[in-house]
Amino acid sequence: MRLPPGTRDWLPAELRRKRAVEAELRAVFERWAYSEVQTPSFERFDALEAGLGDEVANRLFLFSDKSGTQIALRPEMTTPVARLVATRMRDAVLPIRLSYVAAAYRYEDPQEGRMREMTQAGLELIGPESLDADAESLFTAVEALGALGLGDALFDINHAAIVDGVLAGLELDARDMADVKRLISGRNIVELRDRLRGTGNPASVDAIVALAMTRGRDDVLATARRLCHTDAGLAGIERLRSILARAKTLGFGERINVDFSLLRDISYYTGFIFEGFAGEVGFTLCGGGRYDSLLPRFGFEAGAVGWSLLVERLLIALERRHSTRFGAAPAIDVLVSGSDIVAARERAAGRIVRIDFDRRTESELIEEARAGHIPRVVIARDGSVREVDVHW
């Protein structure tokens, strides 16, 4: 019998590995003082619609309940967390640090790293609009991937105001601006050059096209500064420069690059944005940024920054690296034959117990224990209990 597209079963060894990765992520979140929350798997469509960007809103699983209310499976966790903060945590002292590991659902075209049912893990920092908050969001992501054995993961960063400031020197209306950003995000250099032809000085157009296709650090920020026409864009450049400097002091500055084609959902993010990736896979491992316009849509005036990842994508990356660190089966402590009471006593002592159903002979039980690296056998027969230490 076939499963619905974009879903999968998890066999015992696979699920152990997944749970181990989730546990490691939770440990990182806790070390940074983020508290885990949980929201319903489905919400009212109007609540989700208020917060989602265009890209995600078009991929909802929608249905109506028996009262006729339109319901949607949550496609991500940031919007439900924003709704939670705005309705249940209005009186909490800012900043609020929240994390999650939860299922999410999107109507995707299923392919490697892109499922319709997925597990999203991440965190949200509610309140501050500062450089410190942006840096914390990025640094938690760097540490989380490092804790999973991806300590060489690379990160691209950008700031939404910089591209706006650079494009402000051209003759573009709002619709043209959105089209050009889409081309920049897609790294469509040929169409981008054609689209910008005649909108400004040819030398400036060439410089903007080159800038949009270049990764770097202080060098590309210096170029952007020469092309930027807005105070907000210049402030964004300085914010990225500061983040790069702080990352360098922590020892991972060489793994972070500025990429002006990184725009993510332009209708959603309002400032600093980033993505993390590894060479083994052709998709991003994590991503996020600042979304100060989201919480006010729920009537709560506060800034916010955060990021998320898909656990399934991490598992693919770890598998490509042949990582065996996560998901080993728990070692069995004792093999018990012939007594429910003895087995219960061993479990009460915190031991992992395998029960023999067939009442095999002592030699057969010892042979099984050796094969399974079980250090003890306990045999109950005719009112007596015999323990055997097993060596292999």
**pLDDT for 148-191, tens place per residue?**
999 999 999 999 999 999 999 888 888 888 888 889 988 888 88
Q: Where are the domains of the chain?
A: 334-389
- Give 264-270 contacts, CB < 8 A, sequence gap 24+: 264/185, 264/289, 265/53, 265/54, 265/55, 265/56, 266/160, 266/178, 266/181, 266/182, 266/185, 267/53, 267/54, 268/52, 268/53, 268/54, 268/55, 268/294, 269/160, 270/160
For the chain, what percentages of helix, strand and coil (3-state, to nearest 5) are there?
40, 20, 35
Q: How many residues does the chain have?
A: 392
d(CA 181, CA 173): 12
State the amino acid at position 154 in one-letter form: L
- Give Cα separations from 274 to 267, 277, 288 (angstroms): 16, 10, 6
Strands laid side by side in the 154-159 sheet: 35-36, 96-105, 117-127, 303-310, 286-290, 272-277, 154-159, 256-259, 215-216
**pLDDT for 330-380, tens place per residue?**
899 999 999 999 999 999 999 999 999 998 999 999 999 999 999 999 999
pLDDT the model gives residue 214: 87
- Give Cα separations from 98 to 1, 30, 118, 132, 219 (angstroms): 39, 10, 20, 17, 35
Secondary structure (3-state) at 172: coil
Higher pLDDT, 210 or 97: 97
Is residue 10's pLDDT more than 80? yes
| Angle subtended at Cα 78 by Cα 247 and Cα 110, rounded to the nearest 5 degrees | 95
Q: Which of 29, 105, 90, 31 is nearest to 306 (CA)?
A: 29
* pLDDT bucket at 266, cuts 50 / 70 / 90: low
Question: Residues of the chain with pLDDT > 70: what percent?
Answer: 99
Virtual torsion, Cα 367, 372, 374, 376, nearest 10 deg? -20
Name which CATH class applies to 334-389: alpha beta
Mean pLDDT, the chain, as a whole number? Answer: 93
For the whole model, what pTM was predicted?
A: 0.90
| Mean pLDDT, rounded, for 7-12 | 95
**pLDDT for 227-256, tens place per residue?**
999 999 999 999 999 999 999 999 999 999
pLDDT the model gives residue 203: 83
Instruction: Give me Rg for the CA atoms of the chain.
Output: 27
Is residue 52's pLDDT more than 90? no
Tokens 């709704």 correspond to: 83
State the amino acid at position 216 in one-letter form: G
d(CA 347, CA 363): 24
Those residues whose C-beta lies under 8 Å from the C-beta of residue 356, and which sit 6 or more positions away, are: 335, 336, 337, 338, 365, 368
Is residue 53's pLDDT more than 70? no
